[in-house]
Amino acid sequence: MEYSTSRLAFIFLAIVCKAHITKSQYLSCNSNDLMALNGFRKCVASPVDGWGANLDSECCSWAGVTCDNSTVTQRRVIGLDLHGRGLAMEICESLADLDQLSTLNLSHNNLHGFLPDKLFQMQNLEVLDLSGNKFVGSFPLHIHLPRIRIFDVSDNNLVGSLTSTICDRSLSIESLNFAENRFHGEVPGNFGNCTSLQRLFLNGNSLSGSLPERLFQLEHLRELQFQDNGFSGLLHERIDNLSNVVKIDLSNNLFSGVLPDVFGGLRKLEHFAAKSNKFSGQLPPSLMSSPSLSTLNLNNNTLDGCISINCSSMARLTSLNLRSNLFQGALPENLSTCHRLNVLSLAQNHLSGVIPSSFQNLQALTLLSLSRTKISDLSSALHILQRCRNLSVLVLSESFRDEEMLGHADLLFPNLKAFAIGNSQLKGSIPVWLRGCKNLRLLDLSWNQLSGSIPVWIGDFRFLFYLGLGNNSFTGDIPKSLSELPSCINSSRSFPPAGSPSNVPLLLGRGQGRFLTYNQFWNLPSTLDLSYNKLNGPIWPSFENLKGLQAFYLDNNELSGNIPNSLSGMQSLEKVNLSHNGLTGEIPASFQKLTFLSAFDASYNKLSGAVPLGGQFSTFPDSSFEGNIGLCGSSRPSLRSCQSQAKPPSDELPNDEASTDGTPYSQMAFGIGAAVGFIWTVSLCFLSGWVLDKGQRRR
């Protein structure tokens, strides 16, 4: 209290007098520390924001500097937090002269160069965070940080082995983070000397070999992140020693052999992930009856046998991903007693039979993926699953082969947001019951043999942003209502709430029959795919409404009429395919305005006139225009060349006149288009997806 009052008074005085005060009874920091800080800032190209003048001894009030309260005249710097300040420099050794420093946080800057050895000899340092920089070089062999608790060098460009003395004399170390660097070699056995260790992050390196047995003696370990390395060998049975461990991630390594049946000892384990390894054999009973386990991900291994699970003891299980293994037999009946199960993926296994009727008890289920299995009886499956009232993502592609889509069944999926059942050779028509799925955002029925017309009511789905109907036998006009899809009009999507699963496998027609795995598949571009059908009639000019649509596939139909000039109002378009139809007239010059357009194909129609030159058009290959007798193009060898004055420059694009052949304009437009497109894609990836709350904008 007295201190802060004096401090206020001091600041007041300082302002009033505008005096240059070099010494203050209350605020002066230790001269040694001042020298160290000034030494540090000499390395910085630009001044450090919030730091006083060089001679100013009030370093305790500088931004990010914390001093202790020990003595009045000689306050010591004990903390330096300069995270996220855009510092671009090498760190000077002088920082290590802050001999009372206990916390150093320089994370998320642009620091580069080598790590000075002296930094790793600081006697009082407890927290060292250098993460998120561009440090290079190898990790120092000799580390003597006797008081260190938290050590973080993650997300840099460090190389070499992890061999070091860090654990030998640091008895209080709790957290070691080496993630996202380029370390290689094995994990040194002396990590076992870090007896207080709780968290070890090695993910995202090139580490190899097996895990040292001594690691499993660390009884305080709570979190082990080893994913994305080249670790191999068996998973050691001594892992059962880790009775405090809560989270283990071994994903994307080369571990092999059977999973040891020792999970009974891991009494606090909540999250176990070992996806994309080479584990084989059966599921260990102790794992499949773990009372603490909440999420289990064994996706993409070669596990086999039946899926045997004891839900009476696995009371906390919320997410089970066993996708892409060699499991066989029927879907386990007793899975239905896992009452908290929220996410279930059993796709890409040799499972057969039908969905047990007890699955209707999975009332917490929001995501179910059973694609690429031999499961059959779609009719009973849908009747059972509609009782799972919370089901919001249902992926059944490449299962239920050759069955009939239930056209007129009385089904209700009020919460369904995504429904995919592609490549199943389904017959029948678009089922009427889908109309009740008012929350649909994504509908994929592509690669089937569905026929009949596309119902008008599809345009009523308020949230639909992805419609995949490609490669079926639909006939008739494109319903005009599709040009009124609200979610494609406003480029805003109403995203499902957060807390949703990762790694949802979808089969989408445009993916050429491959499974596309999207961590957050709500990131898919807004798409209308009607390709490979038998649709006829015109492309409605009103499609210009769809200002948020990114991909528009109409190829391989029997469409006729002109390409409406108004389509250039679809300002988000990135991909357009109109090939193999009977379209006539010209390619509208206004399409040059579509700056995001990266693929355009109008081949094999009856188009005429000149191929536009500006905008993105200079980047499209000749093959996008071939097979149109009437089309001509300047500087397009495979097309007939146009009469040079055949077409006046478009008055919509004044820039076109400035450049005689359109090249500078088009290159610039392409450059801007590409740059904007790139930024836009990157931001999309970060911004959108499950994590977004309702109503947030895509841009």
| Residues pairing with 444 in the sheet | 420, 468
Residue 61 as a binder of ligand NAG (CB under 6 A): the answer is no
Q: Is residue 644 packed enough to be buried (19+ CB in 10 Å), middle (13-18) or exposed (0-12)?
A: exposed
Tokens of 517: 């795995």
In the bound state with ligand NAG, the residue whose beta carbon lies nearer, of 62 and 656, is: 62
Q: What is the DSSP letter of 336?
A: G
Q: How many CA atoms lie within 13 A of 117 on its CB side?
A: 5
Query: In this structure, are strands 77-81 and 65-67 parallel, antiparallel, or unpaired?
Result: antiparallel
Considering only 36-44, 184-192, 642-650, 686-694, which stretch makes contact with ligand NAG by CB under 6 A?
184-192
605 binds ligand NAG (CB under 6 A): no
DSSP state letter for 663: H
Using CB under 6 A as the criterion, what x/- string covers residues 287-316 for binding ligand NAG? --x----------x-------xxx-xx---
3-state secondary structure of 15: helix
What character string, x for contact with ligand NAG (CB under 6 A) and - otherwise, covers 78-97? -----x--------------
Residue 167 or 370 having the CB closest to ligand NAG:
167
**According to CB under 6 A, which one of 555, 613, 631, 688 is a site residue for ligand NAG?**
555
CB 450 within 8 A of CB 427: yes
Candidates 15, 17, 45, 69: give the one binding ligand NAG (CB under 6 A): 69
Please give the structure tokens belonging to residue 477: 């006009």
Is 330 a binding residue for ligand NAG by CB under 6 A? The answer is no
- Confirm or reject binding of residue 278 to ligand NAG (CB under 6 A): yes
Work out which of 133, 397, 471, 581 binds ligand NAG, going by CB under 6 A: 471
Is residue 550 within the footprint of ligand NAG (CB under 6 A)?
A: no
Interface stretch with ligand NAG, choices 116-124, 212-220, 430-438, 589-597 (CB under 6 A): 212-220
Q: Which is nearer to ligand NAG, 199 or 656 (CB)?
A: 199
Q: Which single residue is written with the structure tokens 């999926």?
A: 413
Asked if 693 is part of the footprint of ligand NAG (rule: CB under 6 A), the reply reads no
Q: Which helix (H) or strand (E) holds 699?
A: none
Residues within window 578-597 making contact with ligand NAG, judged by CB under 6 A: 579-580
Task: Based on the shown chain and the rule CB under 6 A, indicate whether residue 117 belongs to the binding site for ligand NAG.
Answer: no
**The token pair that represents 634 in the structure block:** 């300047």
Least distance from ligand NAG to the Cβ atom of residue 179, Å: 13
When the beta carbons of 394 and 656 are compared against ligand NAG, the nearer one is: 394
Q: Out of 363, 519, 641, 683, point to the residue binding ligand NAG (CB under 6 A).
A: 363
Segment contacting ligand NAG (CB under 6 A): 379-387, 430-438, 483-491, 642-650? 483-491
The CB-based long-range contact list for 153-158 (8 Å cut-off, 24+ gap) reads 153/115, 153/128, 153/177, 153/178, 153/181, 154/178, 154/179, 154/180, 154/181, 154/201, 155/131, 155/179, 155/180, 155/181, 156/130, 156/131, 156/132, 156/180, 156/181, 157/181, 157/182, 158/115, 158/182, 158/183
Q: Indicate the SS3 state at residue 424.
A: coil
Which of the ranges 8-16, 18-26, 111-119, 186-194 carries the binding residues for ligand NAG, by CB under 6 A?
186-194
The answer to whether residue 168 forms part of the interface with ligand NAG (CB under 6 A) is yes
User: Counting beta carbons within 10 angstroms of the beta carbon of residue 472, is it exposed (0 to 12), middle (13 to 18) or buried (19 or more)?
Assistant: buried
List CB contacts of 651: < 8 A, sequence separation 6 or more.
none
User: Is 696 near ligand NAG (CB under 6 A)?
Assistant: no
Q: What is the DSSP string of 182-202?
A: EEEEPPPGGGGG-TT--EEE-
- Mapped onto helix, strand or coil, the DSSP state of residue 12 is helix
CA 178 to each of CA 86, 175, 206, 348, 663: distance values in angstroms, whole numbers, following the listed order = 22, 10, 11, 34, 49
- Which segment (26-34, 114-122, 211-219, 636-644) binds ligand NAG by CB under 6 A? 211-219
Write the CB contacts of 447 (distance below 8 Å, at least 6 apart in sequence).
Answer: 422, 423, 424, 470, 471, 472, 507, 509, 513
- Per CB under 6 A, does 557 bind ligand NAG? no
Which listed residue (73, 243, 519, 696) binds ligand NAG by CB under 6 A?
243
Residues in region 120-149 near ligand NAG by CB under 6 A: 127, 129
5-44 residues near ligand NAG, rule: CB under 6 A: none
The verdict on 451 binding ligand NAG (CB under 6 A) reads: no
**How far apart are CB 190 and ligand NAG at their closest, in Å?**
4
Task: Check: CB of residue 86 under 8 Å from CB of residue 112.
Answer: no
203: left (phi over 0), alpha (psi -120 to 50) or beta: beta
Under rule CB under 6 A, residue 516 binds ligand NAG = no
Query: Which listed residue (14, 38, 68, 566) binds ligand NAG by CB under 6 A?
Result: 68
Binding-site ranges for ligand NAG (CB under 6 A): 3, 66, 68-69, 83, 105, 107, 127, 129, 150, 152, 168, 189-190, 192-193, 214, 217, 219, 241, 243, 276, 278, 289, 300, 308-310, 312-313, 333-334, 363-364, 390, 423, 425, 447, 471, 486, 489-490, 517, 532, 555-556, 577, 579-580, 599, 601
